[in-house]
Amino acid sequence: MSLTVTLIVLALAAALLAFSNYMSRCPTEPGKPRLIPYQGLQFVALIAIVLMLAHLVTLFTGEPFKGRGGF
How are the residues of the chain apportioned to helix, strand and coil, as percentages rounded to the nearest 5? 65, 0, 35
What is the total count of domains within the chain? 1
pLDDT at res. 71: 60
pLDDT at res. 70: 64
pLDDT at res. 34: 87
pLDDT at res. 62: 85
Residue 52 lies in a domain: yes
pTM: 0.83
Residue 68 lies in a domain: no
**Nearest to 48, CA basis, from 25, 21, 14:** 14
- Convert the pLDDT of each residue in 14-68 to its tens digit: 999 999 999 999 998 899 988 999 999 999 999 999 999 999 999 998 887 777 7
| Structural domain containing residue 41 | 3-27+36-61
